[in-house]
Chain A
Amino acid sequence: MKISLMINEKEYVTHVKPEGMLIDVLRHLGFTSVKRGCDSSSCGLCTVWVDGLPILSCGYLALRALGKNITTIEGVQEEAKKFGTFLAEEGGDQCGFCNPGFIMNVIALKRQNKKFTDEEIKTYLMGNLCRCTGYASQMRAIQKYLEV
């Protein structure tokens, strides 16, 4: 069916099947930052926001996003650059395949504008897997990013 979706504050008209997942629609529309890492909603790579809240787009029906605002990293490039610089300065970007989903979750955390303990940060981001870094450099970058 033909639907219209709001992605990064712009309207897109596209065809979806009722069972179509948001990740596939987004990639089809050219939002290639959205990566698929698994088939069991367990890696966090495909994280985008729906109405400002992080969701896993591989487990989210595209139709559910009707009338809602979808945000991918293409829509928050300034914030991504800010955090990305901290991350790169720690060498924590590495292969980068997990980065867009992970960074979307980090920016969402930052936008809550609260004080978090390290344990809370880890819990918030636990669903974002990374095989390269061992997570420590990511944590150093997050701590710096949350301070500014």
Chain B
Amino acid sequence: MGNIGKKIKKIDSEAITLGKPIYTEDLAIKNTLCVKLLRSPHANAIIKSIDKSRAERTVGVEGVFTYEDVPKNRFCMAGQTYPELSPYDRLLLDKHVRYVGDPVAIVVAADEKICNRALNLIKVKYEVLEPLLDFEKSETSHIKVHSEEDGTFFKGSKDFVKYDLSKNIVGEINKVFGEDPEKTFEDSPVKIEEEYTMQEQAHSMMETYRSYSYYDHLMRLTVITSTQVPFHIKRQLSVALGIPASKIRIIKPRIGGGFGGKQTSVTEIYAAFATMKTGKPCMIKLSRKENYIASNTRHKMKVKVKIGAEEDGRINVIDLDALSDQGAYGEHGFTTLGLVGDKSLPLYNKLKSARFHGKVVYTNKVPGGAFRGYGATQGCFAVESAVNELAKKINMDPSKLRLKNITKEGETTLAYNQNILSSKLEECILKGRKLIGWEEKYPSKVLSNGNIRSVGMAITMQGSGIANIDTSTVNIKLNEEGDFSLLISATDNGAGADTVLSQMAAEILKCNIDDIITISADTDITPYDPGSYASSGVYVTGGAVVRAANKLKRNILKEASEKTGIYFGDMDLNKGMIMTNTGKEVMSLKDLAEELSSGAEGKTIMGSGSFGSDTSPPPYVAGFAELETDILTGQVKVVNYVAVVDCGTVINENLARVQVEGGVVQGIGLALYEDVVYSKEGRLLTDEFLQYKIPTRKDIGELTIDFQESYEPTGPFGAKSIGEVVINTPAPAINGALLNGIGTQFSKLPIKAEHVLKKIIGY
């Protein structure tokens, strides 16, 4: 049908571009109550007393709730498949507040103004404690962010997660592959030892976190919410509020961006609790400032890298030691840490030895969470920066160094227990070199105005869904007029999963994409899916779409067979018709559907399919940065960024391209602009767009995006993922270009003009 690989518009694009009411807040009825949170001004404190009497008496206030008024069920806000590897370290409201922004009280009132007035009238006495702000001191600190006094924190086994609250450790990983890493390093003639720190990038999605809840006609608690994980939210609310999951319904409308942030349930619980208490529709909507100070961020990580290599560039050993800053609550801590090693070490194939050791520790800061790239970004920055350092040390072209060492299609590697079934990484590197003009531009040249032009590169991989964990189910039915309903819970967060999955269904049912009504996501209606994370939409849910559509097709043809006597294997669908394989029209789908929709033999034909995979096939990117560095100011401009991507089959060229462009720009922001500053007392100071600078359209130079398609045999139509992998290369490629331009790399992000200038003038 030609639906695959085409530049098909997003199916929701018309409503989106016309400004229709399709987001959470737009759907709330008039007179919905406003929910606001009183937040802790202290990074670590015990609440001694709360006087809420004046707030409660304020006209228009429906309720004020403190830790004394809420259920005491510990829960976890990380939207992950049960049993989560993140700790159950949260209470709805706690007597102990652990970061500036931690909720102290919930106010429900007629409108925002009254809420704000009531917030000001709540008097809280705190016993202010010394905060733990330096994650490098966390393990040995006398300050304990959490204690196990009041409940079991972990569902996962201690043998596996290796948590230790007495040392503020959320989790620890130690994996050794092959020979002894210390000895291999010692025996290698060329040694690189570096450390790199990536900051706590903020998602800064345009729609802040928000949730709207009400009781429906069956008195079930219904939450319309901007989430990536409707089914996980349902479970979390059930656990935290102590009500059966059967009494909860989660609906996901259009989402104004997520980037992983909305894989954590930042607001749902407060709206739902307010509705339980008042019986009325309630909405919570975070301000931009709250979005920064009281949601979640990328985990700040310091990664030490040791590389041992031969003089000819063969890499013998990569030894990584990571420390991850979890902040105050443990969402996604252990799992994010794992990807630092899992998605960097398997890139290199000549290793005799590899090791990944890492710890993730609590601090009294904004909690870490899921952010596009999920640890792979931090690992890529460290390993690729160190590999660029190695290239410089042995005076070898860094692209040739990669070509010499990378894992190729059909091969396996020390830190990867399966064969790589699809990879065009080598071709990506070669194409990227051409597109950026590497031969002419590497390593650098001085322009007539004294500025330095230089190029740098990096490679990366990610996964496609979580192997052996993620399973998605999809239902498709033939409607009574011959069109189809596609029921999915892949949770399109704006990137276009609904469209891409509809394309796949249309391809198999050989119909126009407009013949498919796509419904996503409603936990009452659409089948179980873990949600949109781990780059799973195209691969995992897509796999289920293929199975469901094929089943439906078979069921349709069997019905047609019963009616006509023609063997079902001799027929196929074609643009709304059932045809014989010799090209004769049998009947229209509309006629069949209409006939089936009534009478004693009437029925609805459906197809249901599930897909989970025992592998998580990696997509790859080769990224190349061309920089111009102003030697008088230290300002760095990315003149051109080339990203060549192997995401398997490209299902929708436009949407794939925009994923790459958007991811690269977020990566450039991470590398050069997005600064995170805390006060001495632990207050996040970069808490608005004016302080936390995401790239504007003036900051970004050329973006040159290309694809090098491979065919992933386990993926739908040969596809792999694309959403996350694209954010990883800019930081190390830019760092590498600075190495090739001004002769030195940077160990911390963001790399700001003043840091560059200091290096240039040798300050």
Interface residues on chain A, number (Cβ under 8 Å):
51
Query: Are the C-beta atoms of B665 and A135 separated by less than 8 Å?
Result: yes
Question: Closest approach, in angstroms, between the C-beta of A99 and any C-beta of chain B?
Answer: 5
Q: Pick the residue among B21, B255, B690 that contacts A95 (CB under 8 A).
A: B255
Q: Among the interface residues B19, B657, B664, B689, which one has the most CB atoms of the partner chain A within 10 A?
A: B19
Chain A interface helix/strand/loop/mixed: loop
Q: Which residue of A is nearest B112, CB measured?
A: A24
Q: Which residue of A is nearest B492, CB measured?
A: A95
Query: Are the C-beta atoms of B689 and A42 separated by less than 8 Å?
Result: yes
Residues of B within 8 A of A89 (CB): 7, 9, 654
Kindly identify, within residues 31 to 62 of chain A, every residue whose CB is under 8 Å from any CB belonging to chain B. 32-33, 35, 37-40, 42-43, 45
Query: Are the C-beta atoms of B21 and A129 separated by less than 8 Å?
Result: no
Q: Pick the residue among B14, B25, B255, B664 that contacts A134 (CB under 8 A).
A: B664
Query: Are the C-beta atoms of A132 and B23 separated by less than 8 Å?
Result: no
Q: Which residue of A is nearest B20, CB measured?
A: A33
Question: Closest approach, in angstroms, between the C-beta of B170 and any C-beta of chain A?
Answer: 28
Q: Pick the residue among A74, A131, A136 that contacts B204 (CB under 8 A).
A: A131
Chain B interface helix/strand/loop/mixed: loop
Give CA–CA (A129, B16) in the complex, Å.
16
Query: Are the C-beta atoms of A99 and B698 separated by less than 8 Å?
Result: no
Query: Are the C-beta atoms of A93 and B10 separated by less than 8 Å?
Result: yes
Residues of B within 8 A of A38 (CB): 288, 688-689
Query: Are the C-beta atoms of B655 and A91 separated by less than 8 Å?
Result: yes
* A108 contacts B by Cβ under 8 Å: no
* B171 contacts A by Cβ under 8 Å: no
Residues of A within 8 A of B256 (CB): 35, 95-97
Query: Are the C-beta atoms of B661 and A129 separated by less than 8 Å?
Result: no
* A14 contacts B by Cβ under 8 Å: no
Could you give, for residues 56-86 of chain A, a 1 whenever the CB lies within 8 Å of some chain B CB and a 0 otherwise? 0000000000000000111001001101110
Give CA–CA (A38, B495) in the complex, Å.
22
Q: Which residue of A is nearest B660, CB measured?
A: A134
Query: Are the C-beta atoms of A125 and B495 separated by less than 8 Å?
Result: no
Question: Closest approach, in angstroms, between the C-beta of B412 and any C-beta of chain A?
Answer: 34
Query: Are the C-beta atoms of A95 and B204 separated by less than 8 Å?
Result: no
Query: Are the C-beta atoms of B17 and A96 separated by less than 8 Å?
Result: yes
Query: Are the C-beta atoms of A122 and B19 separated by less than 8 Å?
Result: no
Q: Pick the residue among A131, A137, A138 that contacts B694 (CB under 8 A).
A: A131
- A-B contacts besides A35-B207, A95-B493, A97-B256, 11 pairs, CB < 8 Å: A32-B19, A33-B20, A91-B496, A91-B655, A91-B657, A94-B494, A94-B496, A99-B16, A132-B662, A134-B665, A134-B700
Q: List 20 A-B contacts (CB under 8 A).
A: A32-B26, A33-B18, A40-B690, A43-B206, A73-B19, A89-B7, A93-B10, A93-B17, A94-B496, A95-B205, A95-B206, A96-B254, A97-B207, A100-B19, A127-B696, A131-B204, A131-B666, A132-B494, A137-B657, A137-B658
A residues neighboring B (CB under 8 Å) = 32-33, 35, 37-40, 42-43, 45, 72-74, 77, 80-81, 83-85, 87-100, 103, 122-123, 125-139
